[in-house]
Structure 1
Amino acid sequence: MSLSKDLQAFYLQCTCSRSSRRFCTYKIIPLVFLLCLCLILAVLILHLTVVLEAEESSNNMKEAIGEVETEKKDEDAGNIEEVIKLESLKDEAKKVFDNRPPELVNNRDCQVHNFVFIKCMKCATETMGTILRRYALKNKLSVLLPRGINIYLGWPYMMEPSDYRPSSSSSGNRYYNCLIEHAIYNASVMKSLFPHQTRFISIIREPWSHFKSTFHYFNMQKLAHIVSDTPLSTYLQDIDTYEKIYKSPEAASHRYCIPDGFSVTKNLMSHCLGMKTGFPEGTADISKNTRAVQDFLNWTENEFALVMIAEYFHESLILLKRMMCWTMKDIIYKRVNSAKYQYEENDGDRAIHERWSRADYQLYNFFNESFWEKVIYQGKTFNQEVQAFTKIQNAVNVFCNFSVATGKIEPMFNMTKTVLTIPTTKFSLGFTFTAEECELLNSDLLSALKEQHEEHMKYEDKDPPKRTC
């Protein structure tokens, strides 16, 4: 109320006389200035408020977008990691697989003659052995061979100099071209015996199938004194007891080439590839340490150019052919040491064995994934080449009477009683396969390789170690 009266009085004073109006003018100017200043300040405050609200809204939107992107990244993380890993493995594969045009596959100048094949027992390794021995014999390679009548290179022990014959290299050096017979992988020893560019290869098998094969092949039921209609399940239900019986000195005379204390059912493939599994007694055992096993597998993948998979034998052979720049004829085979057997299984049997032989399952899963990544790198023509080879192999099986059924061969092949003619395709030059070559697939080529060695190298064959075969 008093403010209103004061304003009215001020107005009257300002409208009275000229002197009063002059006075009023001097008094109003500061007020007007103050009012303008307040308006400017108000506008600035309003502008600042709008800017802050806009920035906050922008930040909220960014956070929302960030959350969505994070969720998307989390959702796709597995896929992205797989893509990155696959791209990395493709780069690694380029170092091994040249992916040459098919017309160059038969160029002898690009062939790889230096290789070490680590045979994992009961993994189609003898069938692979027939392929590799035939190649070594045909190309007159210097093969690292067992002494005397031995068939193993120290297996299941680490190989020692007393286990093998001297090199028969035509150049007179100490190096060998290839190793094919059973030996435990030992990087330092083997690399000292072979040229720098030697390819290390092996083959493995699905562990449950592998266990059943070894159980049958090594006659576990009889040697472990298992009396049961379901011997496989009986063994698994009391592994420790039956393993001790089988590995004991009392059973030694009935175990073929298996020393006391060695298990053929527990991590056998891992042992062949050089993993420390507790044999011989006193040796470290890393098989139960998941991290240590993974480190070993990562190291092994860098050591080996190719680990094949027995269940995918033809795919494995085509990978080998491409990597080594071999021909279709080089990888033709006859399946050997393939037995028929059947065991009744109970629920839980496989799970028991997976716990018992855990490192082998980890090994198989790791290299099975690596195998298919190599296949992917090969491109669309790979499956076509596998199919082309399968037709050739089927024709050879019929021609050599390896096939159980009489079967018919593709019209593209010309077959007489003595010669099978294979035409040229985009994957292979044409070639012939004779009846004599069928016999070669049936032969004991280890003996033939030893004879070839003795033709080129005279040496004193002292008694080989008696610890193994």
Structure 2
Amino acid sequence: MGTDDVEGEHSAHRIHSSVRQMKKKICLVLLVVCMVTLLLRWTMETSMETSNLNFFSPCSQPSPGLKPKQTNVVFLKTHKTGSSTMQNLLFRFAERHNLTVAFPIKECGHLFCYPRSFNTSFVLPGTLPANIITNHMRFNHDEVRVVMPHNSAYITILREPASMFESMFTYFKEICESFKNVNGSLEAFLKEPQRYYQPNEPFMAARNALTFDLGGDKDRPETDAAYIRDFVAEVESSFSLVMIAEYFDESLVLLRHLLSWDLEDILYVKLNMRAAGSKLSLAPGLTAKMRAWNYLDTKLYDHFNVSLWRQLAALGPACVAEEVSLMRQAQESLMQSCFGDRMPQLRSGKLIKNKRLRPWQPRNVDILGYDLLANSHGSSSQDHELCLKLIMPEGQYNEVLLDRETQRFS
């Protein structure tokens, strides 16, 4: 081998060695870059997660994309419990999200042939398949499940039985046969309720109305402890949430978390309220008598009142208080954006000339509604219509929404 050949071999060796060293350096640099990139990405993601946890705390609306909104809802609308306000909220939710609401057939009016037990034949075929059902019915779980999606959330609302019974008596004393013969005296009825009570009358308002609406036996003896226990358990297994009228805002906090809704989805205006003059002043001892007469409703209410506060405690008192405060602020802002300095006036329904806003007036009972001043409207005709829906009474909103459903599917 010549000298030139040896030098060439050495030169090639040095080149290969340099290349290998260069490759090692490049690999090392790439490794460092990858590690730094991974570290930065982990730091950013951790920071974002921490930020999201702070922003989307249990007291804030759920993080978008984590869980979709529940849009299939069964709301059992019980009598004189604030359920008209809840129905309005659900109607507006349905319109905003282009959902279908199940309505009763014409023969049933605005109720699913109440007080008959709910049957699938009571539903207007043109409003099926439905996302939401909320008109008055006597609950029949098996039949409701036939017409509603299997993943529907079941919600209802209860009210303290004594205050509810006073409201029922005042509201329905001209309709309910059991109330008619006491000359408007709640005291007289409660002194001898069995004398006046007609268990088979068409309108079931005179005893354990909550139990009846929920599909139970309103006349089951109080001594039948097993039935009462089993019925409470049945309601608990059927409903995802039992709201309490006296704690309506707190109940809505639970509803929002259950359904993964936004804050705007639970904003409301109170509807179907009686004027102060239509409320009875109760003599001492009447509250206890009303609770005793409605013993099944009392058992239901007491059980689910405790249940509600157990669920609220799980969220945390500070969390619930914060959400309630935010909701009330948002409601004020919504009304301000809708009506500005021309807010709707709460007044007797008898004085409201606008038929779209005049609530139904039972005989001898003054139901309040909202009256609009001249030129009260939002920034557009569409805004105006949406704002009207906030304060629209139950009967009129039923007609508007049913007409919308009919046009959609005709």
TM-score (normalizing by structure 1)? 0.61
Say whether 1:324 aligns with 2:259: yes
1:138 to 96, 112, 115: 96
Which residue does the alignment assign to 1:209?
163
User: 1:350 corresponds to which letter in structure 2?
Assistant: T
TM-aligned CA distance change 1:309 to 1:99, over 3 Å:
farther
Aligned equivalents of 1:183 and 1:298: distance in 2?
Answer: 20
1:371-450 to structure 2, matched below 5 A, reads 371-379=308-316, 380-397=318-335, 400=339, 401-402=343-344, 434-443=383-392, 444-450=396-402
Q: Please say if residues 174 and 180 of structure 2, whose CA atoms lie closer than 8 Å, have aligned partners that are also in contact.
A: yes
Aligned equivalents of 2:88 and 2:102: distance in 1?
Answer: 15
Which residue does the alignment assign to 2:233?
298
Aligned equivalents of 1:221 and 1:450: distance in 2?
Answer: 27
Aligned-residue CA RMSD in angstroms?
3.0
Asked which structure has the greater CA Rg, the reply is: 1
Which residue does the alignment assign to 1:455?
407
C-alpha displacement at 1:161, in angstroms? 3.2
C-alpha displacement at 1:242, in angstroms? 2.9
Describe the SS at the equivalent of 1:110: coil
Aligned equivalents of 1:168 and 1:214: distance in 2?
Answer: 31
C-alpha displacement at 1:329, in angstroms? 1.7
Q: Please say if residues 168 and 453 of structure 1, whose CA atoms lie closer than 8 Å, have aligned partners that are also in contact.
A: yes
Describe the SS at the equivalent of 1:384: helix
Mean Cα displacement is larger for which, 318-327 or 234-243? 234-243
Which residue does the alignment assign to 2:143?
189
Aligned equivalents of 1:352 and 1:100: distance in 2?
Answer: 41
Aligned equivalents of 2:281 and 2:71: distance in 1?
Answer: 45
User: 2:112 corresponds to which letter in structure 1?
Assistant: L
User: 1:336 corresponds to which letter in structure 2?
Assistant: L
User: 1:179 corresponds to which letter in structure 2?
Assistant: I
Q: Please say if residues 99 and 378 of structure 1, whose CA atoms lie closer than 8 Å, have aligned partners that are also in contact.
A: no
TM-aligned CA distance change 1:438 to 1:106, over 3 Å:
farther
1:42-441 to structure 2, matched below 5 A, reads 102=60, 104-105=62-63, 110-148=68-106, 150-166=109-125, 168=127, 175-219=129-173, 224-227=180-183, 231-244=185-198, 260-278=201-219, 285=220, 288-340=223-275, 341-379=278-316, 380-397=318-335, 400=339, 401-402=343-344, 434-441=383-390
C-alpha displacement at 1:102, in angstroms? 3.1
Aligned equivalents of 1:266 and 1:168: distance in 2?
Answer: 33
Q: Please say if residues 204 and 212 of structure 2, whose CA atoms lie closer than 8 Å, have aligned partners that are also in contact.
A: no
Aligned equivalents of 1:331 and 1:345: distance in 2?
Answer: 33
Deviations 1:176-205 (A, max 9, x none): 211110012211111122222110000110
Q: Please say if residues 115 and 202 of structure 2, whose CA atoms lie closer than 8 Å, have aligned partners that are also in contact.
A: no
C-alpha displacement at 1:158, in angstroms? 0.6
Question: Which has the bigger relative contact order, CA under 8 A and spacing at least 6?
Answer: 1
Deviations 1:340-386 (A, max 9, x none): 22323333322222221100010100000001111111123221011
User: 2:391 corresponds to which letter in structure 1?
Assistant: N
C-alpha displacement at 1:334, in angstroms? 2.0
Q: Please say if residues 243 and 263 of structure 1, whose CA atoms lie closer than 8 Å, have aligned partners that are also in contact.
A: no
Aligned equivalents of 2:61 and 2:183: distance in 1?
Answer: 59
TM-aligned CA distance change 1:404 to 1:457, over 3 Å:
closer
Aligned equivalents of 2:86 and 2:244: distance in 1?
Answer: 11
Describe the SS at the equivalent of 1:451: helix
TM-aligned CA distance change 1:101 to 1:110, over 3 Å:
farther
Deviations 1:253-304 (A, max 9, x none): xxxxxx83543131001111111225xxxxxx36652331122112211211
Aligned equivalents of 2:89 and 2:157: distance in 1?
Answer: 13
Q: Please say if residues 270 and 360 of structure 1, whose CA atoms lie closer than 8 Å, have aligned partners that are also in contact.
A: yes
Q: Please say if residues 115 and 199 of structure 1, whose CA atoms lie closer than 8 Å, have aligned partners that are also in contact.
A: yes
Aligned equivalents of 1:148 and 1:324: distance in 2?
Answer: 31
Aligned equivalents of 1:155 and 1:125: distance in 2?
Answer: 15
Q: Please say if residues 244 and 251 of structure 2, whose CA atoms lie closer than 8 Å, have aligned partners that are also in contact.
A: yes
Describe the SS at the equivalent of 2:75: strand
C-alpha displacement at 1:103, in angstroms? 5.5
Aligned equivalents of 2:63 and 2:387: distance in 1?
Answer: 24
Aligned equivalents of 2:114 and 2:62: distance in 1?
Answer: 38
Aligned equivalents of 2:315 and 2:209: distance in 1?
Answer: 31
Aligned residues: 313
Q: Please say if residues 59 and 319 of structure 2, whose CA atoms lie closer than 8 Å, have aligned partners that are also in contact.
A: no
TM-aligned CA distance change 1:397 to 1:452, over 3 Å:
closer
User: 1:454 corresponds to which letter in structure 2?
Assistant: T
Mean Cα displacement is larger for which, 392-401 or 117-126? 392-401
Deviations 1:402-428 (A, max 9, x none): 4659xxxxxxxxxxx8659xxxxxxxx
Aligned equivalents of 1:297 and 1:184: distance in 2?
Answer: 16
User: 1:155 corresponds to which letter in structure 2?
Assistant: Y
Aligned equivalents of 2:183 and 2:207: distance in 1?
Answer: 22
Mean Cα displacement is larger for which, 435-444 or 145-154? 435-444
Q: Please say if residues 319 and 375 of structure 1, whose CA atoms lie closer than 8 Å, have aligned partners that are also in contact.
A: yes
Aligned equivalents of 2:134 and 2:64: distance in 1?
Answer: 23
Identity %: 25
C-alpha displacement at 1:388, in angstroms? 0.9
